Chains A and B, each alone.
Chain A
Amino acid sequence: MNKPLVNVEGLRVEFPSKRGAIAGVQDVSFTIEPGEIVCIVGESGSGKSVSAYTLMQLTKFSGGWVADGRLTLEGGSGNEIDLRTADEARMRTIRGNEIGMIFQEPMTALNPSYTIGWQLAESLQQHRDMSREEAAGRSVELLKQVRIPEPERRLKQYPHELSGGMRQRIVIAMALACEPRLLIADEPTTALDVTVQSEILALIRKLRDETGAAVLLITHDMAVVAQMADRVVVMQNGRVAEDGPVEQVLTDPQHPYTQALLAVVPKLGDMAGKTLPEPMETVATTDCQIDKPLQPGSHVLLDVRHLTKRFPIRGGWLGRTVANAHAVEDVTFRILEKETLSLVGESGSGKSVTGLCILRLERPDCGEITFGGQDLLALSDEDMRLARRDMQMIFQDPYGSLNPHMSLLEQVIEPLKNFGLEAGSALEDRAAELFDRVRLPRAFLRRYPSELSGGQRQRVAIARALAPKPKLIIADEAVSALDVSVQAEVLNLMMELQAEMGISYLFIGHDMAVVERVSHRVAVMYLGRIVETATREQIFASPQHDYTKSLLAAVPTLDLAHRAEKWELATKPPPSPIHPVGYVPEPVHFDKVTEDHFVLRSGVGPAGERKYGP
Chain B
Amino acid sequence: MPYLLKRVINSVLLLLITVSFVFFACRMIGDPALNMLGPGANDIALENLRRAAGLNDPLWLQWVRYMGGLLQGDFGVSYRFGFSVIPEADLKDIGVPVVDLVAERLPATFLLAGVAMAIAVPLGLGMGVIAAAYPRHLADRLVTVLSLAGVSIVQFWLGLMLIVLFAVQLGWLPTGGYGEPAHVILPALTLAARPIGRIAQVVRSAMLDELAKPYVVTARAKGVAEWRVILLHALRNAAIPIITMIGDELSALLTGAILVEKIFAWPGIGLLIIDSLSRSDLPIIQVSIAVVATLVIIVNLLVDFAYRIIDPQIQLGQKA
A108-B214, A111-B237 known; A126-B313 Cβ under 8 A = no
Mark contacts of B222-255 with chain A using CB atoms, 8 A cut-off: 1 yes-contact digit, 0 otherwise. 1111100000010011010000000000000000
Chain B binding site: helix, strand, loop or mixed by DSSP? helix
| Closest Cβ neighbor of B215 among chain A residues | A111
Task: Indicate if A601 sits at the interface (CB-CB under 8 A).
Answer: no
Which positions 288-316 of chain A face chain B at CB distance < 8 Å? 313, 315-316
Question: How many angstroms from the CA of A110 to the CA of B224 in the assembled complex?
Answer: 14
CB-CB < 8 A to B313: which residues of A?
Answer: 112, 158, 160
| Closest Cβ neighbor of B6 among chain A residues | A317
Task: Indicate if A408 sits at the interface (CB-CB under 8 A).
Answer: no
Question: How many angstroms from the CA of A123 to the CA of B222 in the assembled complex?
Answer: 6
CB-CB < 8 A to A70: which residues of B?
Answer: none
Task: Indicate if B111 sits at the interface (CB-CB under 8 A).
Answer: no
Interface size on A, residues (CB 8 A): 41
Q: Are B223 and A93 in contact (CB under 8 A)?
A: yes
**Nearest Cβ on chain B to A99's Cβ, whole angstroms:** 8
Question: How many angstroms from the CA of A96 to the CA of B221 in the assembled complex?
Answer: 6
CB-CB < 8 A to A104: which residues of B?
Answer: 214
CB-CB < 8 A to A94: which residues of B?
Answer: 223
Q: Which of A111, A127, A316 is packed against the most chain B CB atoms within 10 Å?
A: A111
Question: How many angstroms from the CA of A103 to the CA of B224 in the assembled complex?
Answer: 16
CB-CB < 8 A to B148: which residues of A?
Answer: none
**Nearest Cβ on chain B to A315's Cβ, whole angstroms:** 4
Q: Are B223 and A174 in contact (CB under 8 A)?
A: no
CB-CB < 8 A to B310: which residues of A?
Answer: 113
**Nearest Cβ on chain A to B5's Cβ, whole angstroms:** 10
Mark contacts of B196-240 with chain A using CB atoms, 8 A cut-off: 1 yes-contact digit, 0 otherwise. 000000000000000001110111111111100000010011010
Task: Indicate if B30 sits at the interface (CB-CB under 8 A).
Answer: no
Mark contacts of B278-320 with chain A using CB atoms, 8 A cut-off: 1 yes-contact digit, 0 otherwise. 0000000000000000000000000000000011110001110
CB-CB < 8 A to B236: which residues of A?
Answer: 111, 113-114
Task: Indicate if A83 sits at the interface (CB-CB under 8 A).
Answer: no
| Closest Cβ neighbor of B235 among chain A residues | A113
Q: Are A100 and B221 in contact (CB under 8 A)?
A: yes
Question: How many angstroms from the CA of A114 to the CA of B218 in the assembled complex?
Answer: 13
CB-CB < 8 A to B225: which residues of A?
Answer: 92, 126
Q: Which of B213, B219, B221 is packed against the most chain A CB atoms within 10 Å?
A: B221
A92-B225, A317-B6 known; A108-B215 Cβ under 8 A = yes
CB-CB < 8 A to B226: which residues of A?
Answer: 88
Question: How many angstroms from the CA of A105 to the CA of B217 in the assembled complex?
Answer: 11
Q: Are B218 and A111 in contact (CB under 8 A)?
A: yes
Q: Are B222 and A322 in contact (CB under 8 A)?
A: no
A315-B318, A315-B319, A317-B6 known; A112-B223 Cβ under 8 A = no
The 5 closest A-B pairs by CB, nearest first: A96-B223, A96-B222, A315-B319, A95-B223, A101-B221
| B residues apposed to A, CB below 8 Å | 6, 213-215, 217-226, 233, 236-237, 239, 310-313, 317-319
- Can you name 7 extra interface pairs (CB under 8 A) apart from A109-B218, A110-B215, A158-B313? A103-B214, A103-B217, A103-B218, A113-B236, A127-B223, A317-B6, A322-B319
